[in-house]
Chain A
Amino acid sequence: MGKPTRISNSIRSLRFAADEMTQAELADRVHVTRQTIIAIEQGRYSPSLEMAFQIACVFAVPLDEVFHYEEEKS
């Protein structure tokens, strides 16, 4: 049985670093709804690999600068 894992992200800080990009602007760039960006930022939704790459492309950073995979330690 695998250990529970968590995917966190830095989208909020990357948006602010990118000239205070709004959630709506990011949603437009990735062609998703603003609610999906909100859900991802809040950790309520894990995007597909393709969407994750699209988000990383918007900020022009590698994928692991946007999403972080941490294995929980027991």
Chain B
Amino acid sequence: MSFEEKSTWVSMVVSVLVLSAYSMFVLGQLQSVPAAQIAYQRPMLIAVGAIIVMTIVGTILMSIGTAVSAEISAKISGGGSVAEIDRKDERDDDINRRGELVGYYVSSAGALGVLALAMLRYDQFWIANALYLTFMVGGLASATAKLIVYRRGF
């Protein structure tokens, strides 16, 4: 598995974890509190920050793990080196481009939904959360598309 593919996995796992935690925390309150009274702002900002920090930390840990396993397998087999573990080539760029395009289409469709909510004068809670969900689902769709292409080819 290439470094870029592993990075995509890290990004996807972090996104799923953070989105799940945010959904449980904020949307769970909907049963007891009216939407307009839910203080979603701080949890949403924390969720955005958590995605950035956790992705950076996850990528660092993944890099260390990859380097250690590459060093061990190089010592055992006598070949290879840790120098090429983070190598990126044109195939990674192609896959990244295709994945980002999928994410763009999904995000655009979600943005139309957010626009409809605003036009129908829904509460800002729904507009903000629909926008957040759009970004998250767009990112997940992009990561999923990349991982499918990495496995199946194109």
A48 to B90 CA separation, bound complex (whole angstroms) = 8
B89 in complex: contacting residue of A22, A32, A42, A43, CB < 8 Å: A32
Does any Cβ of A come within 8 Å of B87's Cβ? yes
Are A22 and B2 also in contact (CB < 8 A) when A32-B89, A42-B153, A48-B90 are? no
Provide the B39-62 mask, 1 if CB < 8 A to any CB of A, else 0. Answer: 000000000000000000000000
Given contacts A24-B80, A33-B3, A44-B152, 17 further A-B contacts (CB under 8 A): A27-B87, A28-B84, A31-B89, A32-B91, A33-B2, A33-B84, A33-B92, A35-B5, A35-B150, A36-B89, A39-B153, A44-B153, A45-B91, A45-B154, A47-B90, A48-B90, A51-B90
Count B interface residues, CB 8 Å.
17
Interface of A is mostly: loop
- Among residues of A, the one whose C-beta sits closest to the C-beta of B151 is A44
- 25 A-B residue contacts at CB 8 Å? A22-B79, A24-B79, A24-B80, A24-B84, A31-B89, A32-B91, A33-B2, A33-B3, A33-B89, A33-B91, A34-B84, A35-B1, A35-B2, A35-B5, A35-B91, A36-B89, A36-B90, A36-B91, A39-B153, A43-B153, A44-B152, A44-B153, A45-B91, A47-B91, A48-B90
- Among residues of A, the one whose C-beta sits closest to the C-beta of B95 is A45
Contact present for B87 and A33 (CB under 8 Å): yes
Closest 3 CB pairs of A and B: A44-B153, A32-B89, A36-B91
Q: Tell me how many residue pairs across A and B have CB atoms closer than 8 Å.
A: 45
A67 to B129 CA separation, bound complex (whole angstroms) = 51
Q: Footprint of A on B, CB under 8 Å?
A: 1-3, 5, 79-80, 84, 87-92, 150, 152-154
With a CB–CB cut-off of 8 A, which chain A residues contact B92?
A: 33
A63 to B154 CA separation, bound complex (whole angstroms) = 21
With a CB–CB cut-off of 8 A, which chain B residues contact A42?
A: 153
